[in-house]
Structure 1
Amino acid sequence: MREPELVSIALPVRNGADRLEGVIGSVLAQDYPRIELVISDNASTDGTEELCRDLAAGERRIVYHRHPHNVGLLANFTHAARISRGAYVRWIGDDDRLQPACVSRAMAAFASDERVILVTNQVSYSRPDSTVTTAAYEGPHEGGGLGSDDPVERFTEMLRLLNESPFLIDPLYGLLRREPAVGIPRRNMLREDEVFAAKLALAGPWAHVPEVLSHRNWRLERISGLARRLDVPSWQSHAANTLQCRELLRWVRDAGLADDDRRRARAGVLRMYARRQRRTIAHRSRKLLSMARPT
């Protein structure tokens, strides 16, 4: 009987000693038989190193790596996947949780469709006020959507979802075949997660498991604060829409699409950009009006 494929769960962390045991426990509790948990510690200064080394000493499925200095948020994120050994890779946040069947359900979806490069699942999110939110992805408004053989259909469906709701699909925390997980280049920039999601949509068809199989904490963060955490210039927070549009157009240009497909993909990017810009202008206008009101 053929041995099941190894699945790597990549856990990037910095200073997570107070929250790691729960996420590690949920990974090790998976009912899938071949799991590797790869922890990439970005030079933590709390008790993360001691905790992880203690856990790894007693559990052969845990691989622990520590950077000697802070390499940055995105670099640590990608490094966790690159040093893994699995044919399939899934990232997990340092305060996330997986249901025991999360990996096995995704692997069943891969087994049923060899075209698929990524399997997502429904996610529940805890908000700062302790309420829990989830949303069911019911497929595209038209066409084959993320499971289509047409790369532009997949791409434009992902762009639609980016404008619609952050809760419907979370491709960065789905299960990926190794090649797209580590092979698609990523640029350290604001909204890089959305850019990477769009790149994944061009790379191949996806599948979706309509069950709540993972849990994440949802934090609202000002874009200027995210710029500091990513260590990108502060001016980028004022040009995030434009920079995202430029990166997507560059990727479409270099993706090897046929001329007609490239035009369709470019049109999808420009539609998303126009909608984002309208939202930004409306938000800034409301802010100016509120400031202008007499107190």
Structure 2
Amino acid sequence: MAFDDTLVSVGLPVYNGADRVEKTITSVLAQDHRNIELVICDNASTDRTEEVCRDWAATDARVVYHRQPRNIGQLPNFSDAIRRSRGAFYRWAGDDNWLAPDYVSRCLEVFARDERLLLVTTQQAYTGPDGTTRTAPYTGTGYLSDDPVDRFAESLRMLNEDPFAMDPLYALMRRTRVMAVNRGPALLREDEIFAARMALAGPWGHVPEVLAGRDWEPQRLADIARKLGAPAWHVRVSTLIQCRELLRALGEVELTSAQRRRGRALVARMYVRRHGTVAVRRGRKLAGLVTSR
């Protein structure tokens, strides 16, 4: 099946991105797939974001601009962008993102070859504050499995081993199928939880080339919690909360008893591995304090 004339929506949630957002808008509108819709959800910005985006909407009919009456929070604004979109396929884009001109068309080629696919990822470039760009290839096959727990296992593996290989939240998706996946509440690591839920929901394809990029800077969990509106105490038990939500995700899909046991064992191993790392780190710190006296 070809998707040459299919409407593809890009949702751009933004807050105070006047100095960055035009690069993203330009790259979306430069796609060689011509049937594009860009839906901008402005979370009540206080800078020139509204002016910049309204200018684009006035000059290009493909741009739809919506301004929230008040700041509704980061995650609700992201969710509003996909709800306001009309395309059969959808991609979120941050205000610091860029897409190669053939990004959409290359992803659609992968969808056309496999009707099972929920989404298609690509290799991405991540640019740090010092201008250094990092990227990593993805060579796995777990996301293509028909077994949802195989895909779930691959999701947990990638989150813990190589976060630069892909970012499934910034993939091209089948919009209505992804909207049916429970996004869950605003929690620390909610993006990782949502990625695991999408892995359970269907197979993923991949284009092994750098077709997109974004800025990247390490952030403290406390800062992320503040942006999401999550309680500060979540920082201390973030892994426990994440594992609880992953177990809940396994309970939301149809699995055999054996699959469910395997999925729960994967979550348990992740919890032990992360807390084992913390224990080793704390032990080394304690040893350093003892020897320094």
Deviations 1:115-145 (A, max 9, x none): 11110000011112211111000115xxxx1
Counterpart residue number, 1:254: 252
Counterpart residue number, 1:60: 61
Q: What pairs up with 1:114-263 in 2 under 5 angstroms?
A: 114-140=115-141, 145-186=142-183, 187-263=185-261
Deviations 1:37-73 (A, max 9, x none): 0000001011111111111000000011111111111
Give secondary structure in 2 for the equivalent of 1:239.
helix
Contact 2:138/2:165 (8 A) holds in 1: yes
**How far 1:293 moved relative to its partner?**
6.5
Distance 1:260 1:36, change over 3 A: same
Contact 2:40/2:63 (8 A) holds in 1: yes
Report whether the alignment pairs 1:276 with 2:274: yes
**How far 1:285 moved relative to its partner?**
3.6
Deviations 1:201-254 (A, max 9, x none): 000011000010001111100001111111111000111000000000011012
In structure 1, C-alpha distance between the alignment counterparts of 2:283 and 2:177, rounded to whole Å: 40
Give secondary structure in 1 for the equivalent of 2:224.
helix
Give secondary structure in 2 for the equivalent of 1:36.
strand
**How far 1:179 moved relative to its partner?**
2.1
Contact 2:38/2:63 (8 A) holds in 1: yes
Give the residue type in structure 1 aligned to 2:150.
E
Contact 1:14/1:41 (8 A) holds in 2: yes
Give secondary structure in 1 for the equivalent of 2:72.
coil
In structure 1, C-alpha distance between the alignment counterparts of 2:176 and 2:3, rounded to whole Å: 22
In structure 1, C-alpha distance between the alignment counterparts of 2:38 and 2:161, rounded to whole Å: 33
**How far 1:281 moved relative to its partner?**
2.5
Contact 1:180/1:200 (8 A) holds in 2: no
What TM-score do you get using the length of structure 2 for normalisation?
A: 0.95
**How far 1:287 moved relative to its partner?**
4.5
In structure 2, C-alpha distance between the alignment counterparts of 1:267 and 1:132, rounded to whole Å: 36
**How far 1:180 moved relative to its partner?**
3.1
Give secondary structure in 1 for the equivalent of 2:134.
strand
Distance 1:118 1:85, change over 3 A: same
Give the residue type in structure 2 aligned to 1:86.
G
**How far 1:2 moved relative to its partner?**
8.3
In structure 2, C-alpha distance between the alignment counterparts of 1:171 and 1:242, rounded to whole Å: 22
Count of residue correspondences: 291
Give the residue type in structure 1 aligned to 2:239.
N
Distance 1:283 1:10, change over 3 A: farther
Q: Structure 2 regions of 5+ residues with no counterpart?
A: none
Q: Which moved more, 1:174-183 or 1:34-43?
A: 174-183
Give the residue type in structure 2 aligned to 1:8.
S
Report whether the alignment pairs 1:21 with 2:19: no
Distance 1:279 1:5, change over 3 A: same
**How far 1:275 moved relative to its partner?**
1.1
Report whether the alignment pairs 1:93 with 2:94: yes
